Structure 1
């Protein structure tokens, strides 16, 4: 019995999701130049021709990976929370993202800093510029509400600090003291110590870096 249009759509979506998930993993582990579409196809459990059909090639596939990353990292949504609570939410969103998306972080870091691949990163950033600007506007609003004299600068500096944490997490993995970094950020912005540990994130390892950052 032939499949319905709805069944075909669901099958396409499952295949595309499997390909993207495999691409996140393979590109994150191997890097853009060392990764191959054949390896992505094996991990996704699909024929390589299906990747070419959906995405067109390696560059287009990694572009789709970057687009999914930008979508995740700009997905700010607030209710009627006060500015301090919104700032806590922003910090936690970025840090949870740093922990839960290590392969994606390594992909974006590699693509953004290497001259040979920076264009791919820049093109994805441009495609997602509206979402990036909207997220930045929401962050500026909360700093404006907190009384900042230059909300745009405050947003840039928060991004700079958090992106530094993300880079360190991508480089050092689970040995980086993310829970302690969160406490430091909360204290820096006068938010007080978090009541609960960062959800979904393992406890920090007992190491010198942890003691230094938590001092």
Structure 2
């Protein structure tokens, strides 16, 4: 016979509820979605986009096999969310690096933001997480002519728009060349970081990453920075 009376059980449950507040339905859903996205990142990094089925993602996350479809509606939508989450993590790291000295992003010269963002990308791929690896794998999945990864295509477009906005900010504050087309510059920067990231994923010992990061800074300055006014005293 259970020695705990109903009154006793009620008191225990009450104390537990005070110590551990009940999570809301939204919090539970968010936690489930994060677990599914973590599982998706692991599988995409291991097996590629084609090998990461919704059923496998649900199984890896320890949920029902049908839950990913219930939450995301389609694999394409899940890929889009996964790509956006990975990009958000990189953006957060860039903001943290850019504001380390107390400046606001809005007050930081655009050329400095370009340097910081590129350096943040390269630094992450020195020791990439599954989410970082998955981002490059998903990008590569758009190469085949029969591929249908609309979500990644949309994420690519948002990424290019982000680069272009940094270039435009630099042109407004005078730190980036005014004659540079932002859309063209965005493609060049995206190609730089993704090509270097993909190379590091294939062979982490291919190059000295500290030298590569320094070379990126020099390249960005030479291509994007506004020319300094000549010193009148030197003429």
TM (norm. structure 2) is: 0.64
Of 133, 151, 172, which aligns to 2:161? Answer: 133
Give the corresponding residue for 1:102. Answer: 132
Q: Distance in 1 between matches of 2:84 and 2:220?
A: 31
Q: Size of the alignment, in residue pairs?
A: 188
Question: Is the 1:95–1:166 Cα contact (8 Å) retained in structure 2?
Answer: yes
Shift of 1:167: 2.2
Shift of 1:8: 1.6
Q: How do residues 1-215 of structure 1 correspond to structure 2 at under 5 angstroms?
A: 7-72=24-89, 78-99=105-126, 100=128, 101-117=131-147, 119-121=148-150, 123-126=151-154, 129=157, 132-142=160-170, 145-148=174-177, 149-152=179-182, 153-173=184-204, 175-190=206-221
TM (norm. structure 1) is: 0.69
Q: Distance in 1 between matches of 2:77 and 2:190?
A: 27
Q: 1:188 to 1:59 in 2, by over 3 A?
A: closer
Gaps of 5+ in 2: 1-12, 96-104, 223-235
Instruction: Work out which of the two has the higher radius of gyration on C-alpha atoms and give 1 or 2.
Output: 2
Give the corresponding residue for 1:194. Answer: none
Shift of 1:134: 4.3
Q: Distance in 2 between matches of 1:83 and 1:140?
A: 8
Gaps of 5+ in 1: 192-215
Q: 1:140 to 1:181 in 2, by over 3 A?
A: farther
Give 3-state SS (helix, strand or coil) of 1:47's partner: coil
RMSD of aligned C-alpha atoms?
3.2
Q: 1:79 to 1:171 in 2, by over 3 A?
A: same
